[in-house]
Structure 1
Amino acid sequence: MRSLPDAGLAQASPPLPGSSTLKALTSQQSPWRPPSLPEAQDVATSEVVERHACPRASDGQLEGKMSYTNMPPTCAISTGQSMEAESSALDGIQGCITFSDKSLLRGSRAFQLQRRGGQIFKNSEGSAATFNLSAPVVRLKAFISHNWSTHRRKKFMCLAMYFNWWPAWAATLLAAGALTALTAAGLLPTVDLGGYGEAGFACSALCPLVFLLALFTSSEVLAALGFSGPAVFLDKTCIHQTNRDLQREGILRLAAFLNDSASMVVVYSPTYLTKLWTVYELASML
């Protein structure tokens, strides 16, 4: 037990230097607790978190040792069967869009198909002679998609405007140059415009007629001169119509013909989207 003088001395002793600073630092380093969360709520929160804690993963799961070998036998068999089915489906699709025999890729010449006003489009009946209008090719310029209910003349006009456009323009430019030279030489009549001088009218009057004439006849002229035009696909000439085996093989390879075509020429008509084959061709191209 401390003596009274010692106690009085202890009470009267001054504080050590820096003790107030140490107390301030100690109070600052104490853990901070939000004022809105009492002690009871802290305990409840810790209990809730501990109650919902996830179980610890096993070492095998952490090391990534799970594999398909640990799967049940039924799951492994189902996975193998699905992979085989997917592989066979991909092989079937690949077989439809490619040619196992490159000689099956045949094409007809665009100018040849337009001869005699597109007589080949009169009906769908084919023969060995129509099949001989095509030959094996490496690549097709266009795939002609049409239905046989459309009139022959409409098909001819559509193909003429697509394939004969540049020959018609070339013929028109040559005609315009010749008519201009003849007018400048005074060999063709001119029109007096009064104070504006004279102007020739032969070029303006004849060039549109030359263009239309060349548009619908240039294929006939070029085919007669030996220029048969680009290779195109037409079902009547590129798929055999009398040999059933070759016909079936060609029909199964319609998507392959489209795959080897640079473009698709659609001869549209009101019945185009109501026919199964034309819709299939359009969908395969897209």
Structure 2
Amino acid sequence: MSEYKIIFGNLEQAFLSRQKISIKELLSCNEVNIFNSEKVIALIKLLISYDKIHILDSTNKRFMDYVIQWNKLKKITDLPQIKELYFDTAEICLSLPPFDKFGLIDFYKDKNIKVKTLKSQFYSLFNEAKKSIKICSPFLEWNGFTYFQDILLSKAQQNVKIKILSREIKSSENSRRFEGFRKIYKCFKSKNLENNLFIRNYYYETENKKLASSIHAKIIIIDNIKAYVGSGEIRKNSIEKNFELGLIVSGEKVKDLKNIFKGVFIRAEEVNLE
């Protein structure tokens, strides 16, 4: 029996004692909370499209707050195979200026916007990695790397491959940035983990020393199934001082992000940080 059939059976059990329920409450039910929430949400969306689940109230509500009902009259003989993370999902994460001078935090609370910080979400992403971590951070700095130094070293020890794409990190371009990346490299090398770290520089100039092509995107991709895309990156100012905003996404579009990253990474220069 497929996992989705098991989830389907448990959803049916959860509705036996409930005529209606919000999706958020449903996910917390004992019959349902034992499963991966993204898979449950994927199945709920499919069952809504099949008319097996009715939406009773969605007015001015986010999806998780929709009030839904099980349609007992609708019979489903077989469930199609649903690819894992078939439905795209996205969560907002941000960092706020340190001084709440203009009441931003209270404003977001009034709008029911849950503030998930860059620091906590980046850490959570890195912690989930099983195979690979891809980072596109044009202005990555040592003082930002130190926030995540321990978790990244831990993942490298677990043979997770870490690729970092940045800019202006050749010694001839910007000695301060070069030295920062050298510190990162030496940090891995001191633990004999340098073979799991791949750093490349995408920054090209014309013959007249004018900028020809560079990167400015900020992306983190975990195992090619989950990603961050936004304005924030691995810098102290980005995490502590600036207003930064991004999305944590999962689903089919992450495959596109993986290929976008790959396209730039293979055209970037390897950097000798010895």
Common topology (TM > 0.5) = no
Query: Under a length normalisation based on structure 2, what TM-score does the superposition of the two structures give?
Result: 0.23
Instruction: Return the structure number with greater helix share.
Output: 1
Instruction: Return the structure number with greater strand share.
Output: 2
Q: Which has the higher contact order (CA 8 A, sep 6+)?
A: 1
Whichever of the two has the greater Rg, that structure is 1
Query: Under a length normalisation based on structure 1, what TM-score does the superposition of the two structures give?
Result: 0.22
